[in-house]
Structures are given as C-alpha cells and as structure tokens.
C-alpha cells in the first residue's frame, strides 16, 4: 500500500463525481475514506483503489447523521484528516405548489445540512490539531439559475455556495481553506431523472450539442470535475478561499 501524505474524506464517493474525486485524490497521494450509504458501491470503490496500491477505506454513513463517524473513520484508518470533499447529493423533481414539505426538504437536508454537519465535524479536528486543511463543496450551476421542478435542489445548492463563503471567512484564522466547484451537465448516474438519461434526450442533443448552448458541445466527464476539486484540495491552492469555480463547458456564459 502506498505511503500517503494527506487524508481525505469524500462523501457520496461510491460513484459519479465522488468516485472520480476519490480516485484523483488517491492518485495524488492521499489516503481516502469513501463515505456513502450502506446500499451503495462504496466498498467496491475502496477495494478497487486498494487493488491499485492506494490507501482507501469505506465507511457506511449518511451525511445527515453520521458526520462524526466519517471523521472517526479517517482517524481510525489513517491517523488524521486534512481534506473534506462534500459531494453527497440527490436529485428528483418536485412540484413546489403541491409536494409535501418533508419531501421538498429532503434534498436540503442531504445537500446543505449534510455539507454543514460534515464541514463542522472536520473543522473541529482540524482546529484541534492546528494543521489547517481544505474543504471543498461540490455545488452546481443550479445554485444561481432557475429550473422547473427544482426549487428544492437549486435552493440547497445556493445555500451551499453561501456556506462556502461564510465558512471561508470564519475558519481562515485556523488555516482552513473552503472553496467550491459548480459543475454543469456531467455524465453520471444523476443524469438519469425519472428513469430517463437527460444527456441522451433529443432535446439535450439539439439544444446543448448541435446548437452549442454548451460551447464545448458535450457534457463533462466526472474526471474533469475531479481535477478541479483536487486542485482546491491540494497544497497548490494557497491563496484562494470562499470561491466557487464554475466548470460547465461555457454553458452559463451563453444566452
């Protein structure tokens, strides 16, 4: 097993962007705790990393209730915690007029409350150790755009962006840098909404690809988001905090 230089916890890391982030951080020399729900492919992701010679462990955890367990897993497995990537999220459509409030709130609890609870748990140990650290929040271009049947998700992502700014200011004296990444369309399992892969739809192909509403005329691959996360989590990022980098192929600069 490789000798690691940093220890990272990545939430929602069993698949999609989270898995790509875990793989990229491991490639860069970090020991990685894969945090995801127990019904996920988290253990398989950790095992795949270990088979490649990386230090990796899986912890079955819900970001709404198990933030302390994730931090404990990092210490128990690898002796510390230097990086937290808040990636866990869910998406489903809602009717803001009629959907029960509890169902509307579920996305907010996972995306926003989960990011706060995990950030606080990580920062407490970073402050106690006096070594600083990096927290990276995976947001979305939905944080600053309107979208039909997405008031729950967009509101939660907007709150994550504000959380990034506020925690960056509050925790700067402790050497903790807090930044975010806002992807646009990414080719992940979350692209499948209500059983349909939106990236394969005729609407997406016509508007975003052929008409180049996305100037680069394609969705991102998870690795392309992970590379930006890895920079923000690294020692190469030293004078940037409180900002969210948009990685969307140029989508939000068109009209």
pLDDT tens digits along 165-205: 999 999 999 999 999 999 999 998 878 777 788 898 999 99
Q: Is residue 203 part of a domain?
A: no
Q: Is residue 197 part of a domain?
A: no
User: What pLDDT digit, counting tens, does each position of 82-125 carry?
Assistant: 999 999 999 999 999 999 999 999 999 999 999 999 999 999 99
Q: Is residue 115 part of a domain?
A: yes
User: What pLDDT digit, counting tens, does each position of 46-90 carry?
Assistant: 999 999 999 999 999 999 999 999 999 999 999 999 999 999 999
Q: Is residue 208 part of a domain?
A: no
Q: Is residue 202 part of a domain?
A: no
Q: What is the DSSP string of the chain?
A: -PPPSEEEEEET-SSHHHHHHHHHHHHTTEEEEEEE-TTSSHHHHHHHHHHTT--EEEEE--TTT-HHHHHHHHHHHHS---EEEE---------TTTS-HHHHHHHHIIIIIHHHHHHHHHHHHHHHHT--EEEEEE--GGGGS--TT-HHHHHHHHHHHHHHHHHHHHHGGGTEEEEEEEE-SB-SGGGEETTEEGGGSHHHIIIIIIS-SSTT-SPBPHHHHHHHHHHHTSTT--S--S-EEEESTTGGG--
The pTM of the whole model exceeds 0.75: yes
Q: Is residue 180 part of a domain?
A: yes
The CATH number of residue 27's host domain is 3.40.50.720
Domain count, the chain: 1
User: What pLDDT digit, counting tens, does each position of 135-156 carry?
Assistant: 999 999 999 999 999 999 999 9
Domain span including residue 163: 6-188+220-253
For the annotated catalytic residues, the residue numbers are 153
Q: Is residue 74 part of a domain?
A: yes
């Amino acid at each position: 097993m490789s000798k690691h230089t940093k220890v990272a916890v990545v939430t929602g890391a069993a698949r999609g962007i989270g898995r790509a982030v875990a793989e990229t951080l491991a490639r860069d020399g970090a020991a990685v705790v894969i945090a995801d729900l127990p019904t996920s492919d988290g253990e398989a992701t950790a095992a795949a990393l270990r088979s490649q010679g990386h230090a990796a462990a899986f912890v079955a955890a819900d970001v709404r209730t198990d933030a302390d367990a994730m931090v404990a897993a990092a210490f128990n497995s690898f002796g510390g915690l230097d990086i937290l990537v808040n990636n866990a999220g869910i998406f489903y459509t809602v009717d803001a007029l009629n959907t029960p409030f509890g169902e509307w709130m579920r996305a907010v609890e996972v995306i926003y409350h989960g990011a706060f609870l995990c950030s606080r748990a990580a920062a407490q140990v970073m402050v106690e150790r006096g070594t600083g650290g990096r927290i990276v929040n995976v947001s979305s271009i939905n944080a600053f755009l309107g979208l039909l049947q997405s008031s729950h998700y967009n509101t939660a992502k907007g709150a994550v962006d504000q959380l990034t700014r506020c925690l960056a200011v509050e925790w700067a004296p402790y050497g903790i840098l807090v930044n975010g990444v806002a992807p646009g369309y990414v080719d992940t399992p979350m692209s499948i909404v209500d059983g349909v892969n939106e990236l394969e739809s005729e609407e997406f192909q016509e508007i975003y690809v052929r008409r180049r509403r996305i100037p680069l005329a394609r969705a991102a691959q998870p690795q392309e988001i992970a590379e930006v996360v890895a920079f923000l989590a690294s020692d190469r990022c030293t004078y940037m905090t409180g900002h969210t980098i948009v990685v969307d192929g140029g989508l939000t600069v068109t009209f």
